[in-house]
Amino acid sequence: MDLENLLNKEQCEAAITVDGPLLILAGAGSGKTRVLTYRIAHMIQDLNIYPSQILAITFTNKAAGEMKDRVRALVGNIADNMWISTFHSSCVRILRREIDKLGYNKNFTIYDSYDQKSLIKQCMKELQINEKDLTDSEILNKISNAKNELISPEIYKKENEHDFRKNKIADIYVLYQKKLKGNNALDFDDLIFKAVELLKNNKDVLDFYHKKFRYIMVDEYQDTNKAQYMLIKLLVDEKENICVVGDDDQCIYAWRGADVTNILDFESDYPGAKVVKLEQNYRSYGNILTAANEVIRNNSQRKDKALRTEKESGDKINLYRAFSDRDEANFVASQIKEIMKEENKSFKDFAILYRMNSQSRIFEESFRKSLIPYRIVGGLKFYDRKEIKDIMAYLKLMNNPLDDIALKRIINVPKRNIGDATIQKIQEFATDIDQCMYSAILDVEFIPSLTTRNTSSINKFVSLMNSFMAKKDEITVSELIKSILSDTGYLKQLETSKEPEDESRVENIKELVSDAVEFERTSEDKSLLAFLEGVSLGSSGENPENPDEIVDTVAMMTVHSAKGLEFPVVFMVGMENGIFPGMSSFNNFTEMEESRRLCYVAITRAEEKLYITSAESRMVFGRTVGYAPSDFISEISEGLKEIIGGNKNRTVQVLKRNKIKAPQKYNPHGLMSSNAEESNTNTQEYLSVTTQGSNLQQQSMKSEATIGRKVKHGKFGIGTIVSISSSNGDTLISIAFDNMGIKKLVLDKAPIEML
């Protein structure tokens, strides 16, 4: 196989290095899958290594299937004799052969999420733990995290015996695992957990797999968690023929257990390891890659490397500072149409990347008005999300009590002890008397076989709905939504939830309030009926039926969902401090580094054109707030950026004020004051300022002291203005100093210099 003519120099070096530990640092768009497949083909065809001696592990079934197809195309059907599979699939094969050594039968069942929740509820019932205190999802999340960290039920119990809540979870974990074994079942996390246990405790089994797999390859190594890391560590024999491929700069899944130190410490784990850097990018134009390099080099936890390309420099990165979030969305829509007209591109050539799913709503609305077809990748359209449909069902029912579908959706949301059996009895009674279900529950005492507890719960629901109906014509739609969120306890339940996905649900609900506020501002008919009609008409028929048209749509997605994808034109939207990077990043060095890696991933999705947009003001939970442009924008050289549209002079001023010196600015302990009063202040108050409409731009231009501006203090050093207030005629500013925490100063008297 003539690898020298098939691969570039670095790719070829990686493909022919077969013996000993090898770390392939594969930058974005550098052709790592090509290298892996040719490496396997070289091993089989040129070195006569039998395919069954090779283990190649990927993270997804799709990646495994693609790799197997490409290897088969190079070497033929002999490729079917090697293991190319995911971590979990590989572990299943090992456990099917050896799990009897752990006291299980080889015909064990693998439980899905539904089975897991059923078993967790059974455990909670036996332990007399109330579902109001702990949810099954929270428990499963904690157990999953423990298994990914290789923490057994007994160790988890011992570590948390003094924490009341976690001790309860530990009791459930112990019983849950006992019942799993009694049922001869494993859950998804057990597949790796038990495989590690098996290999650790059975030398004969470990020896067998050492002899079987002489060569091991792992893709996306930067995304491995502790359990996956340990599995690979065990499978590698004394010859250490281990090849891992990954990019520490693209480690963006810490929230689900990925540990970037696994790839950073590879050379410590395997002394003498060879490192090959794949730095030639085949995807993007030069300016885009240079910008990505300039951003990511500010991270301290990374391997030194830089992407390069033989392509032309291409356009500069376009910066657009919108007046509002709505202006931002309209700009993106108009820009897409303009580019399509001038460059003969299709809708599928464009992608909108945002930090949070809730940001899609305003772009969806703008695109519908502009007749731009779109699809949400890796998520639901805004009004298809569960939490949005729940609140909309409340609005629909109070607008139309005849709507049985809406009633059945929310009569027990949040939980009110009105179960499915009770709802069925209400439905049957309503059918018998030929009335809607709401009419039936108005006379709940006449519904047969309901318990006193059922009746009481239903009466409370009726009272709640009647109160909503009484005021629906007296208050605005946004106030009505806030009332639902507050009076039902829906928002509080999400805010106090321990389930990770509920944080994004809170953001989505806040966006719904903002949508209602915008409706009230722009609509002549401000009634609830008009709002519901607008949503229904706007949400229906969004996906054209023609399959070709479905393919030709603008892609909208979070940056996490965009990993592995590429588009000719990319819009990075909402690039503001407090959004991207998020609030929590400013108080946590590790989170800030992950946010910067996420920014790097976003930039490197673009092939030809990159737009970075932000807004002077945006609606958050019905309030207009203003955020400074993202610090990440300032990490890109001036020569690579071009400000387009809007007030260019104003944008230049804002960006200069926001210019930073990285990476020193992100002190992991310096941004929050130790002062108790200041420490308890919500981070958002330090990063945003509430304003009224167009006053935001006017206020920010009146004074040089603005939120987000960098300053230098004679004693405290460099800092950022995070809040401004007035007291007895003085202007007070709170400054987050890089090394001194937050200090509140009188503007006129403080020895500060605006940077």
> Annotation-wise, does 313 bind a ligand?
no
The Cα-based distances of 494 to 347, 477, 485, 486, 500 in angstroms read 36, 21, 10, 11, 10
Handedness of CA 12, 15, 19, 23 (dihedral sign): positive
Cβ neighbours of residue 688 under 8 Å, at least 6 residues apart? 578, 620, 625, 626, 627, 707
Cβ neighbours of residue 645 under 8 Å, at least 6 residues apart? 320, 331
Two tokens, residue 604: 């490197």
> Annotation-wise, does 626 bind a ligand?
no
Phi then psi for residue 460, to 5 deg, are -65, -40
User: Are residues 749 and 713 in contact, defined by beta-carbon separation less than 8 angstroms?
Assistant: no
> Annotation-wise, does 333 bind a ligand?
no
Distance CA 34, CA 306 (A): 20
Q: Which of 86, 228, 250, 309 is catalytic?
A: 250
> Annotation-wise, does 31 bind a ligand?
yes
Q: Which residue has the tokens 């308890």?
A: 680
Q: Which of 32, 70, 302, 316 is catalytic?
A: 32
Q: What is the DSSP letter of 578?
A: B
> Annotation-wise, does 26 bind a ligand?
yes
The Cα-based distances of 389 to 147, 352, 362, 368, 405 in angstroms read 34, 24, 17, 19, 12
Distance CA 315, CA 309 (A): 15
Q: What is the DSSP letter of 630?
A: P
Q: Which of 17, 33, 435, 699 is catalytic?
A: 33
Q: Does 605 qualify as catalytic in the annotation?
A: yes
Distance CA 50, CA 40 (A): 10
The Cα-based distances of 719 to 691, 704, 741, 745, 752 in angstroms read 23, 15, 9, 12, 10
- Count of residues in the chain: 755
Q: Which residue pairs, CB below 8 angstroms and at least 24 apart, start in 14-19?
A: 14/39, 14/276, 14/278, 15/39, 15/42, 16/42, 17/243, 17/274, 17/276, 18/42, 18/43, 18/47, 18/49, 18/215, 18/241, 19/239, 19/241
Distance CA 95, CA 104 (A): 9
> Annotation-wise, does 645 bind a ligand?
no
Q: Which of 214, 605, 618, 710 is catalytic?
A: 605
User: Are residues 12 and 4 in contact, defined by beta-carbon separation less than 8 angstroms?
Assistant: yes
Cβ neighbours of residue 129 under 8 Å, at least 6 residues apart? 168, 171, 172
Q: Cα–Cα–Cα angle for 203, 209, 215, nearest 5°?
A: 135
CA nearest to 543, candidates 531, 554, 530, 559 = 554
> Annotation-wise, does 212 bind a ligand?
no
Q: Which of 220, 387, 594, 607 is catalytic?
A: 220
> Annotation-wise, does 406 bind a ligand?
no
Two tokens, residue 621: 């939970």
Q: Does 219 qualify as catalytic in the annotation?
A: yes
Q: Does 220 qualify as catalytic in the annotation?
A: yes
Binding-site positions for ATP: 26-33
Binding-site positions: 26-33
Q: Any idea which residues carry the catalytic annotation? A: 32-33, 219-220, 250, 605
